[in-house]
Amino acid sequence: MVDLFNSLGTPVPIPIEDGELAWLAQLPLAYPNDAVFARLLAETPWRAETVVVFGKRHPQPRLTAWYGDASYTYSGLRLEPLPWTPLLLELRTAVEAASKGRFNSVLLNLYRNERDSMGMHSDDEPELGPGPVIASLSFGATRTLMLRHKRNKDTLRVPLTDGGLLLMAGATQENWLHGINKSTRPLGTRINLTFRYVV
């Protein structure tokens, strides 16, 4: 497990080979984390999508919503964007200030409980361009992000706590897979927002 205890406004690098990761334990926000969580939960038109994996259709084990300026395709699923809400624009401004990045889209993931998950994958769709910066903001229950190196199979576990911002950049998507495993321990609800720049 990585020990993540910075609380200043600047993300702290997490050293990994063949990639760039940084963690900010609390993104500075105008409202408490639980207020943001409650609004996101209530205001988002959550969807249960079906994806195609190796030619077979599967329900995604979580709910999602796609917002921003561009459509996005992954696992045979084409997502048409919803318009930015005032809250999502505020969160984007805070994420851009902390990351020095620029984002035109955000995927919202709702993990209802310990049975929801995200399979190991890379955010390497062509429309994200080379070396994309992905800014991943978490609210609610802590879930652990698993990272696995594509060639040497090294692994890293990063606990994604309430209000924390994880930045993945450089060659991370080229060289690493990441995902959220199901848990055998009961877990509460978590909302994750991954900000991206779709070309």
Ligand X SMILES: O=C(O)CCC(=O)C(=O)O
According to the binding rule CB under 6 A, does residue 91 interact with ligand X? no
According to the binding rule CB under 6 A, does residue 118 interact with ligand X? yes
Site map (CB under 6 A) of ligand X, residues 53-72, x = contact: --------------------
User: What is the rounded CA–CA span in Å between residue 143 and residue 141?
Assistant: 6
Pick the closer one to ligand X by CB: 96 or 123.
Answer: 123
H or E segment to which residue 172 belongs: helix 172-175
The residue with its CB nearest to ligand X is 192
How many residues bind to ligand X according to rule CB under 6 A? 11
User: What is the rounded CA–CA span in Å between residue 105 and residue 122?
Assistant: 17
Minimum distance, C-beta of residue 134 to ligand X, in the bound complex (Å): 7
Decide: 21 and 13 in contact? Cβ < 8 Å: yes
Residue where the block lists tokens 């609380």: 7
Query: What 3-state class would DSSP assign to 70?
Result: coil
Minimum distance, C-beta of residue 166 to ligand X, in the bound complex (Å): 7
Interface of this chain with ligand X, residues 179 to 198, rule: CB under 6 A: 180, 192, 194
Structure tokens, 59: 């329900």
Residue where the block lists tokens 């459509």: 71
**Binding stretches for ligand X (CB under 6 A):** 107, 109, 118, 123, 136, 145, 160, 178, 180, 192, 194
